[in-house]
Amino acid sequence: MKYSKIKKLYKSIFESYDCPSLETHIQKIIDLDFYLPYSSTFFCITNTQDLTFEYISKNFNSCIGIDANELKAKGMRYFWSRIHPDDIDVWLSALNSLMEFTIGGINAEERQKANYTWNYRFKNANGDYVNIIQNTTPIAFNSEMKPIIGLAHYTVLDPNIKMQITASAKLLNNKNEYETIYFNNHSQKLLEGGLSNRERDVVRLLVLNNTSKEISEKLSISSHTVDTHRRNILKKLNISSTGELLGMLKTNKNLI
């Protein structure tokens, strides 16, 4: 995929027209970075509106071997150019699904409590593709409460580890603990064929042991509608019961 197309798709996912000012917040994060130890993780402050990095932590160079100043000067397009070509389409699909879920599945008032995780392969300075797990917490939103500035943490894992591209969303619950409210395996999705997006949402929440009532609340639909989706899912997949479906999916997470 040409990177001009990636830019167009990425911009459409995070489309915004606001121009937030976070200088004070960003400066505090920069000050903190001075005291953090060197490790296999680094963090960036991402600007999905301008496709730039507001800040790149000192560990970026030790983790990837690339000069942080080069990345900051060249922005996200340069970052994308180092993602494994086979992961680009799947990675964009993961981002798009997370954004659709955020807009459709998380109340605007709660989006500041959300946290997102996805992964891909990234070429380091030696030309090796290492595994990157990215965890992003939004810290600024546009007028429509769409996240546009994020604090992104990156964990670098050995390139020999075989990882499928997945995406997940977590939300702080009433106990101030993160609860997984969305999970999707974008590398291998048995459920994609024939199921609607809403039906896949229902399946993922069922796998997380949510009841029909809990699913109805999280998806803002009635319990009756949830039960209708459950019956349609079983019919489309030719499965006799919800228990059989969940047993199959929990045994082999790659099917989700």
- CA distances to 45, 109, 145, 149, 150 from 52, in Å: 9, 26, 20, 10, 11
- pLDDT reported for residue 65: 96
- pLDDT reported for residue 154: 97
- pLDDT reported for residue 201: 85
Nearest by Cα to 159 from 130, 197, 183 = 130
Under 8 Å between Cβ of 60 and 44 = yes
3-state secondary structure (DSSP) of residue 152: strand
Cα 111 from Cα 146, distance rounded (Å): 8
Least reliable range by pLDDT among 53-62, 161-170, 232-241: 232-241
Quick one: tokens of 78?
């340069």
Does residue 98 register a pLDDT over 80?
Answer: yes
Task: Report whether CATH 3.30.450.20 matches the domain 3-187.
Answer: yes
Give residue 168's identity as a one-letter amino acid code.
S
Cα 227 from Cα 245, distance rounded (Å): 15
Confidence band for 193, pLDDT divided at 50, 70 and 90: low
3-187 matches 188-256 in fold: no
- What average pLDDT does this structure show over 54-72? 95
Does residue 5 register a pLDDT over 80?
Answer: no
> 96 versus 4: which is more confidently predicted?
96
> 191 versus 205: which is more confidently predicted?
205
> 244 versus 90: which is more confidently predicted?
90
Confidence band for 17, pLDDT divided at 50, 70 and 90: very low
Cα 102 from Cα 99, distance rounded (Å): 5
CATH of 188-256, one of 3.40.50.2020, 2.40.30.30, 1.10.10.10, 3.20.20.140: 1.10.10.10
> 128 versus 233: which is more confidently predicted?
128
Cα 152 from Cα 149, distance rounded (Å): 9
- pLDDT reported for residue 19: 47
Cα 222 from Cα 207, distance rounded (Å): 19
Strand partners, 129: 123
Does residue 220 register a pLDDT over 80?
Answer: yes
- What average pLDDT does this structure show over 22-32? 80
- pLDDT reported for residue 52: 93
The phi-psi region of residue 194 (left if phi > 0; otherwise alpha if psi is between -120 and 50; otherwise beta) is left
Under 8 Å between Cβ of 94 and 118 = yes
Does residue 254 register a pLDDT over 50?
Answer: no
Share of residues in the chain with pLDDT > 70 (%): 84
Hey, where are the domains in the chain? Answer: 3-187, 188-256
Under 8 Å between Cβ of 203 and 192 = no
